[in-house]
Structure formats: structure tokens, C-alpha cells
Structure 1
């Protein structure tokens, strides 16, 4: 039970609930497909349990417990809010958290068909999130660095993936990244940044965005890490609508955001290809999402 990739089952979760939150132990419980650093279980109609899986330590869940209750009330989309803490026991040596359930279909299993509405919704959410963070907010890690500090990762992704029909565009993808690497850093105060906006971390209904989940990469820093979502999440043509609705940004931030979108597209593609090869952690349905993001990066180039 102490392995870094621990899986839990319903029997164990019910035992943990009986021991620590007996008033919740009788609610219906079912595992939710997906998850990477954490395993998710739906608890009744309004709650979910987030259980450490691949995360090596408790820090990411502790960060969500600390900050999401303060951020959620001012955000225009639902986000998971921790409501009960689960402590390690002799039966399970990791932490777990009961959170509010965010209804909807994850975008990696859904679609955005109302492009302008989704773009405006994403812009409103990020404009509200990107407020100046307090001095004790968590700092950036690999999620949040300037593109120049992520160059090795970008190179590894680019060399590892099969670009398919985009193979002839490899030079253009590299040019977008090189432009981001040379862009000046963020000049404003550190703002709240989700940090990991990709198709599995937003939910949809009726063709538009209806919620944002998984704030394990939450930090104070450069909003470009979230602005990359204009290309990573939205359908073709969505990025110009997004930037028209989001507060004006400087050219350097646009350059960093576009480069980071290229890197995120390569990451999605790599994860998808790992799934096709049967490698651990692979998600085959992410490969088309990655290629689509790269195509949008090359085609949708809004002004500042």
C-alpha cells in the first residue's frame, strides 16, 4: 500500500470513510475513468474523492485544500472545492480529499461546438483567475517556467513524436517555439495560474465549457501558461475570439503563450502515442487532440 502507484478499490475507500467521515460512508461510490497523479471516485451526486496515485507526495493535494476554497467564490465556472480531509492510516498511507463534484464531460471525451461561447467563457474564467496572487502563494515549478527554461523538454517531445501530416511543418513549429524562447519574461506581478489546462482538465456540456478541474499545478506566475489554452482547448478560429474577450496583453506574453501551446500540443501527441504503444500512462485519444492543437498554433495567430 505504500507504492507510489497505489490503486484503491471501493472496499478500501468505504473503510476509510467509515473511519474518518462515517456520515458519508453510505453514499454511492464509483470510480471515474482517467486521472494521472490522482485516482478519482464519485461519491453520491455532489461529491468526489481525490486519492493520491502517481503523485510522489501530498503537496499538490495540500495546495488544493489550502487555496481552492478561497479562489472558487470569485471564479465564473465551477471548480472542485475541498470539503473534507482524509488522513493516512495503517490501511492506506497517503492522503485523500473529499471535494465537490464538477458536472460535465471532460473535453478529451467531449467536444466544443459553440466556438465563440466557449472562447468567451474561457476568457472570462482566466481573467477572473489571473488576479495578483498574495505573497504566500505557491511559486512556479516546471509548470510555470519561462520557455527558455523548458527547451530540453520541448526538444525531447519534438524528437519523440510522430507528427504525421504535420511532419512538413516541423520547422514552423520549431520557429514558434524559438520565438517564445527569445520573448521577454512576464513583467507584471505574479498572478494566479492554473498551469495545466489541457483537454482532460476542463469539462463540457452542450458544446461549451462548464467547469475547470485539477488544480495540482496551481501557482503564482506568468499567465502565458494559461493563455496557451486558447490554442490547446478551443476549436479552429477560437483563439482570436478568446484574445478579443480577454484583457489586452503585450506582444511578449502572446509569443510565450503560443510557444507554450506548441509544447503542450507535442506533449498531448506524445502521451497519445505512448498509449498506442501500450506504454504506461498512455492515452491514445490524446494524439488527435495534440495534432489539432499544433495545427491551430500554426493557423490561428491573433494580434495583441
Structure 2
């Protein structure tokens, strides 16, 4: 006996049985209820037996036959295995789209200035950036790999440290030239402080209050100033001379190298308790395109 070739009909049956409704199944499958009904009838014709009990009382809830109910778990497991198989086929090549979850600031200040080298090495992989300040569901949103800032513990994800980070004040060269008092830490008392609120409230995220206490600087109000919820915009405000920002070294590195910013008080060292991590689902670790991008990230970070 030949195996059924009516996979669409089988999918229509599975969705209808799960929802107990042709209409709900149709909404899930993006077809009409009539089309779902026709597919189910096609399956019944092939089987030579009904899969649902049918009454004459109008749009009653669908009830699968006893045999259909027994078969349903195996059919659902089969579709799950088919989906996994398709994922494995996609993972077998470094070609296609690679979806990367990162924050907007990390994209602007670190990744985008360097991404050309990855695209040159892997021209058949198209990078899609998903920029979000909040953690995303890697499975539901189709994320392949990401970079997250934190302590390295995210349930369901493998995490490898990418870069540690130092925290220090920065300002524009012009700001320092005009206000020479800024050459001493107590000069901050007369300055506008720029606050980074991008992950405000995260345990371990350094604030002006924490940095000033660590540096032993008194007489500076840590509550006043300009507050911005994007790390890239914090640095841009400092570049444009609006005040002194408490910078994260990974974000500020290129601006310091280009002379757009200057670091204040380099003798004061403050290592962040948080770091950048490459994160991905453990079951996808062997994907060629993920492996390629992960290796590139780690190599780039090692060059810093």
C-alpha cells in the first residue's frame, strides 16, 4: 500500500482536531474553512473512513473519531520531526539569512562599523539585525545568535563571554578645552552629567552615583543632569558638548580612537560587573552560519 501524499490534508486534519473547529484551523493555516473541510474529506476518501463525527446540529464542536484521537499524537509528533528536519537542512549550509539579536546601541557603536569584514568573508550569508532593548524569544522570533550584556546567565541559551568592560567619564575635546576644571575630578560638580538609562535597574549596572562613590569623589550630585535610555545617544550627547557622560568602554572605543571623545581621569579604574556575551540555543550550536558568525565575533573582540 502506498503512503499518503496528502500532507496538506493531514495538516488540515491535525489543526482541525486540535482546535475542534474547521474555522479555527482555517485561521491558523491561512485558508478558508471550506478549503479545510475539503482537505479533510480528501483524507477521509483516501482512508476510506471518517475522521470526525458529524451531526446535523449546525456548527457544533468537531469531535474526532476514536481511531483519529489515537492517531493524533503520532501525527503531531511526525509534523514536529518534519519541522526539525527542515531546520537541519537549513542549518547544513552557511548560506541564507542569519538573524542576530543585539541592542540598537551595540549595533551602532560596535557591530556595524565592523560588519563588512564578516560579509566579505561570508558573502552568501545575509545578516538580519533584530535590535531590541528587551530580551527576545529566540525560538518564537527565529533568532539564530545574539549579543547580550549582563552576567552571562540566560535560561535556555548558551553564553560565551565576548568582552569585559570598563566604565569611565568622557567628554568632547572642546568641552575639556573650555572647562579646564574638568581636568580634576572635583570639576564634575559644575558640569552636566549625562546618565545612561538603557538598562537602568539591572543589578550591577554602573551609575554615576556608584562610580563617584568608587572614585571617592564628594560634592558632586549624582541625581541631576541629562538622562537618556540609549547608550549610543549618551555618547553622541557628549560628543556634541552637552556634558560629561559615564561611558562604557566597548561603546566608546571608536569615538576615543577618532578623537571625538576624550577619557577623563584615566588613573581611576572601574571594571563593570557586567560583560558582553555571545548567546545562542545549544541545539543550534553546530549550524555552519552560526558557527561562522560566532567565530567572527570572537576574533573581532580579541583584536580590541
TM-score (norm 2): 0.24
Higher RCO (CA-CA < 8 Å; seq separation 6+): 2
TM-score (norm 1): 0.24
